[in-house]
Amino acid sequence: MIRIGVLNLQGDVSEHLEITYKALSKINIDADVIKVKTASDVLKSDGLIISGGESMVIGKLIENNGLRTTIINQNIPIMGTCAGMVLLAAETDYYQPLLGLIDMKVIRNGFGRQKQSFEEEIQILGDNFKGIFIRAPYAEKVGKNVEVLAKLDDKIVAVKQGKYIATAFHPELTEDTKIHEYFIKEVLKCVE
Amino acid sequence: MLHGTEVLKKGFAKMTKGGVIMDVVNAKQAQVAENAGAVAVMALEKVPADIRISGGVARMADPLKVQEIMEAVSIPVMAKVRIGHFVEAQILESIGVDMVDESEVLTPADEKYHIDKKNFTIPFVCGARNLGEALRRIDEGAAMIRTKGEAGTGNIVEAVRHMRMIMGCIREIQNKTEEELWGISRKIEAPLELVKETAKHGRLPVVNFAAGGVATPADAALMMQLGADGVFVGSGIFKSENPEKFAKAIVDATAHYDNPELLAEVSKNLGKAMPGLEMSDIPESERLQSRGW
């Protein structure tokens, strides 16, 4: 049985746990979903989700707990949403700790402050999706190995590089399990 | 493109879960808070401990000061308005503050009505002492609740009382029948729909933080173990002997609230916490928590 971890340092962790359970039951996969706080939790995981929150705070807590190298060396599929997208990036416009797993430069709060936060229909994985963007980042540029999954106007808001997936918006705040299902399938592929 | 929806407002609050929101009075303190790992800062003219000492009418901070703080950090910036003072809230919204705290720490502007928070694009946080008060604020549009505690005292006892009141009442209503919930809704003066939603999920319909009297890492962890989603620290950081150390220790304690070994580590050698106030030394009339209803 596969085990999916949700990094539990700061942010909307319980929302990711809930929608992951929902996605699993929808595609009829038996899996464990655990909260990840320590290196040993990371080592137990076949896939990892990094929630929304403050990327600076989550980044500092990753460093303080000595999780950074463990997460990178674990070599498992990782999905990051919003703050999680920032943390997966190789580069941002602000000085802060990063995991650097996706070859992209991310602009934090790229659409503005909370007042400018928005909901907008986007196209991803060949379907419509309700994009919830909260002080969201976007990718300003991506490397040639990075697949762009979604754009809003000219801004890149979802990407995939190998087993790493990042979205600038929050699928965990919707009822739509599509993106989590996609991630779970990615985890299954890697376990095989 | 939709702005200011319930999902966006409540979603913003959800992103602060597990974090520490710190009171700051200038750009330099805001940077200290950000470096220590604050999830947001609350921009103020004076911290509650100083408001308590200086007396007089406490109002919204100078918008220029709030803007200086917004420019100094990349994390969200919140600011306080007086209870019922919707124009102060309009002003803060216009300069782009990320969240407004309709706060009993400032002198109330309206003795009868809180702000109609649904009229705003930006989200609000409000204080509460019990479940009824929390649900009334949520009904008015609050996207986040915090305990009132007793601000500026460095004494956790009131925040504990309020968190226990709220969580205890939620536990009580979880096994009630439909008819019993009607009665509870009338008794606690809260809308039936919100009472039902709370009973069904076993938690408030919005994020619920602790505030008012948090002074040490252990205080923060205590509130988290009692069920808080995160912690506001007012005077506790910049009135302590060593703000940088206290700030970082409280951030770590909030993230690892259920790990006593780690709590022991981060609590070591911090220097003096802010001086505290015994509740019996504060006359009823000077207690901030009794403002609002």
Q: For residue range A75-112, what is the model confidence (pLDDT) as tens digits?
A: 999 999 999 999 999 999 999 999 999 999 999 999 99
User: C-alpha distances in angstroms, A124 versus A111, B175, B202?
Assistant: 19, 42, 34
Read off the pLDDT of each residue in B200-213 and give the average, rounded to a whole number.
97
Read off the pLDDT of each residue in B2-30 and give the average, rounded to a whole number.
98
Cβ-defined contact of A53 to B18 (cutoff 8 Å) = yes
What's the helix, strand, coil split of chain B in %, to 5? 45, 15, 40
- Non-local (6+) Cβ contacts of B282 within 8 A are B150, B153
Q: Which segments of chain B are extended strands (E)?
A: 2-3, 20-24, 40-43, 77-82, 99-103, 124-128, 144-147, 207-209, 231-233
**Percentage of chain B exceeding pLDDT 90:** 89
Nearest to A54 among B2, B7, B75 (CB): B75
Using alpha carbons, select from B33, B48, B122 the residue that is nearest to residue B277: B48
DSSP annotation of A177 reads -
Rg for chain A, CA atoms, rounded: 15
**What are the backbone angles phi and psi of residue A155, rounded to the nearest 5°?**
-95, 135
Question: How far is it between the farthest Cα atoms of chain B?
Answer: 54
On whether the CB atoms of residues A78 and A106 are closer than 8 A, the answer is: no
Q: With beta carbons under 8 A apart, name residues in chain A contacting B122.
A: 114-115
Q: Which CATH superfamily is domain A2-191 in?
A: Class I glutamine amidotransferase (GATase) domain (3.40.50.880)
What pLDDT score was predicted for residue A12? 98
> Which contiguous run of DSSP H or E holds residue A6?
strand A2-7
Residue B187 has pLDDT above 90, yes or no: yes
DSSP annotation of B90 reads H
Q: With beta carbons under 8 A apart, name residues in chain B contacting A119.
A: 1-2, 5, 7-8
* Number of residues assigned to chain A: 192
Q: pLDDT of B225-266, one tens digit each?
A: 999 999 999 899 999 999 999 999 999 999 999 999 999 999
Read off the pLDDT of each residue in A49-77 and give the average, rounded to a whole number.
96
Cβ burial of B276 (10 Å; 0-12, 13-18, 19+) is middle
Read off the pLDDT of each residue in A39-67 and give the average, rounded to a whole number.
96
pTM here is: 0.97
Distance CA(A162)–CA(A101), nearest Å, equals: 10
Cβ-defined contact of B11 to A173 (cutoff 8 Å) = yes
Distance CA(B242)–CA(A111), nearest Å, equals: 36
What pLDDT score was predicted for residue A81? 98
DSSP-derived 3-state class of residue A13: helix
Distance CA(A178)–CA(A182), nearest Å, equals: 6
Distance CA(A55)–CA(A58), nearest Å, equals: 5
Q: Are strands A147-152 and A155-161 parallel, antiparallel or unpaired?
A: antiparallel
Read off the pLDDT of each residue in B11-29 and give the average, rounded to a whole number.
97
Q: pLDDT of B119-136, one tens digit each?
A: 999 999 999 999 999 999
CA distance A41 to chain B (A): 14
Distance CA(A167)–CA(A138), nearest Å, equals: 9
What pLDDT score was predicted for residue A192? 82
Which of A170, A180, A181, A186 is flagged as catalytic?
A170
Who has greater pLDDT, A65 or A142? A142
- Non-local (6+) Cβ contacts of B195 within 8 A are B135, B173, B181, B184, B185, B188
Q: pLDDT of B60-98, one tens digit each?
A: 999 999 999 999 999 999 999 999 999 999 999 999 999
DSSP-derived 3-state class of residue B147: strand
Q: Which of A157-171, B25-39, B45-59, B234-248 has the lowest mean pLDDT?
A: B45-59
**Does residue A190 have an active-site annotation?**
no
Which of B14, B17, B28, B80 is flagged as catalytic?
B80
Residue B275 has pLDDT above 90, yes or no: no
pLDDT band at B202 (very low <50, low <70, confident <90, very high): very high
Distance CA(B23)–CA(B163), nearest Å, equals: 20
Residue B277 has pLDDT above 90, yes or no: no
pLDDT band at A43 (very low <50, low <70, confident <90, very high): very high
What pLDDT score was predicted for residue B116? 98
Cβ-defined contact of B74 to A56 (cutoff 8 Å) = yes
DSSP B152-198: TS--THHHHHHHHHHHHHHHHHTT--HHHHHHHHHHTT--HHHHHHH
Using alpha carbons, select from B64, B181, B109, B262 the residue that is nearest to residue A9: B262
Which of B2, B3, B8, B256 is the best mutation test for A, with the most CBs of A within 10 A?
A: B8
- Non-local (6+) Cβ contacts of B269 within 8 A are B245
What pLDDT score was predicted for residue B52? 86
Using alpha carbons, select from B238, B252, B245, B169 the residue that is nearest to residue B203: B169
On whether the CB atoms of residues B117 and B99 are closer than 8 A, the answer is: no
Read off the pLDDT of each residue in B110-115 and give the average, rounded to a whole number.
96
How many cross-chain Cβ pairs, A to B, lie less than 8 Å apart? 109
Read off the pLDDT of each residue in A144-157 and give the average, rounded to a whole number.
97
What pLDDT score was predicted for residue A117? 98
CA distance A122 to chain B (A): 11
